[in-house]
Amino acid sequence: MKPLALCVLSVGGVFLAKLAEGAPFADILPVVSLDSVESLLSVMASSMLVIATFAVGSMVAAYASASAAATPRSIPLVIADDVTQNALSAFIGAFIFSLVALIAVTNGYFQGAGLFTIFALTVWVFGIVIITFVRWVDRIARLGRVVNTIERVEESTAEALARRRRAPTLCATPLRDVRAQGQPLMCSRVGYVQHVDLATLQDCAEVQSARIEVVVLPGTFASPDRVLAYVEAEGAIDEDPLRAAFTIGRTRTFEDDPRFGLVALSEIADKALSPGVNDPGTAIDVIGTLVRLFTLWRRPLEQGEQAATRYDRVWVPELSVDDLFDDAFTAIARDGAGIAEVAIRLQKALCALAAQEDQAMVRAASRHSRLALARSDHAMDLAEDRAAVRAVALSETVDI
């Protein structure tokens, strides 16, 4: 859409330059030769196509680097980079403008004032292209790097966690225990739950005088034998609109699935710990990122930040802290158990999370600390390394 909009603006700019010839100030505008304008537009037309092609090649290389060095699950975030997309659109837009203006100039469409206006527009487009190119070079140098990918995944995960923190049950009634009463709503497709349209479920529940217990959250793998929800109603139930409220896709998404962001971060750390990469520093960086995210998750809500319950006929469970910890730390503890610096940093991170005033998080951190310590005892050959990890385990007071 952006190149299309720039194409329309280019055609509009040519007609605007033609209108300048009848303006009262047309006689006082400087005289610009036809050859200079034509040469300038020719240079732009030839160079912008080359730069656009180079930009595409650099973007593809950055995507491949992000997939190889980090995790393929981070590719959607890398592709969604606004600076890169805007830069490519600007290059294509400048190319389209130069072609449109060059056709008009070479066919004698303009007189003196029109030529000056086209010249001014061309200089203005050149300035935009230069500024965009400088910003894009700075971004493309970091795009696809592991550190940049971790930052993008952290930002996306933090946004998803913040939204879920404000609305733990997605503005529905909290579901503490699944009663499994009523008619089960079965999934008709195979894939991951990407989104649950609670407004549609609420409308259907009001129309059918029903009570709906949603038992799957975004990120759940669904198959035809999976129950999506239990529906209690007085009469027959129309399942089609209810089933349409659950968006099932081939892959998980970051927007409504905070656990997916934790999984992606864990995969980045896990790949860094592989023998082929051997980069424990990246794993340590990811551990620090996970501590920041869990601290954000359990930060007390300010007044007015808690979302009100809008769907009183729909019951939705909250995210499990144990599941969040499993997604975040299991792979790192397993594959980093034999690396002393990673195991020590992991124990310190779990100590920091156990210091939070949340009993569920304390229990989850304690469980993972014991598991990580057991893995380290089994994986490490040197007694001094095992002692160093045990010294900072959760049972000890550690200043991180």
**Residue-level pLDDT at 234:** 80
Is the model's pLDDT at 215 over the cut of 60?
yes
What residues have CB less than 8 Å from 148, skipping those under 6 apart? 142
186 contacts 226 by C-beta, under 8 angstroms: yes
Please give the residue that has the higher pLDDT: either 100 or 343. 343
Task: For residue range 5-63, list pLDDT tens digits in order.
Answer: 877 887 788 787 777 766 665 566 677 777 888 888 888 888 888 888 888 887 788 77
**Residue-level pLDDT at 399:** 39
Q: Which of 374, 239, 32 is nearest to 393 (CA)?
A: 374
**Residue-level pLDDT at 267:** 93
The average pLDDT across 223-242 equals 88
Looking at the DSSP bridge assignments, the partners of residue 198 are none
Phi, psi angle pair for 216, to nearest 5°:
-125, 140
What is the distance between the alpha carbons of residues 247 and 163, in angstroms, rounded to a whole number?
19
* Cα angle 312-171-208, degrees, rounded to a multiple of 5: 35
3-state SS assignment for residue 328: helix
**Residue-level pLDDT at 24:** 63
Of 133-137, 155-159, 316-320, least confident by mean pLDDT is 133-137
Task: For residue range 278-304, list pLDDT tens digits in order.
Answer: 899 999 999 999 999 999 988 887 877
**pTM for the whole thing?**
0.81
Q: What is the chain's Cα-based Rg?
A: 29
What is the distance between the alpha carbons of residues 399 and 352, in angstroms, rounded to a whole number?
9
Q: Which of 255, 51, 90, 38 is nearest to 162 (CA)?
A: 255
**Residue-level pLDDT at 384:** 92
**Residue-level pLDDT at 201:** 93
For the beta carbon of residue 354, count every other beta carbon within 10 angstroms: 17
Is the model's pLDDT at 68 over the cut of 80?
no
**Residue-level pLDDT at 395:** 63
Task: For residue range 315-345, list pLDDT tens digits in order.
Answer: 999 999 999 999 999 999 999 999 999 999 9
Q: What confidence category does residue 252 fall into, taking pLDDT thresholds of 50, 70 and 90?
A: very high
What is the distance between the alpha carbons of residues 3 and 92, in angstroms, rounded to a whole number?
6
* Percentage of the chain exceeding pLDDT 70: 95
Is the model's pLDDT at 166 over the cut of 60?
yes
**Helix extents (H) in the chain:** 2-19, 34-69, 75-79, 82-106, 112-142, 146-166, 198-207, 239-244, 258-272, 280-297, 321-335, 340-354, 359-379, 383-391
**Residue-level pLDDT at 199:** 93
What residues have CB less than 8 Å from 145, skipping those under 6 apart? 65, 69
| Chain mean pLDDT for the chain | 86
Q: Which of 119-123, 128-132, 214-218, 232-236 has the highest mean pLDDT?
A: 214-218
For the beta carbon of residue 172, count every other beta carbon within 10 angstroms: 24
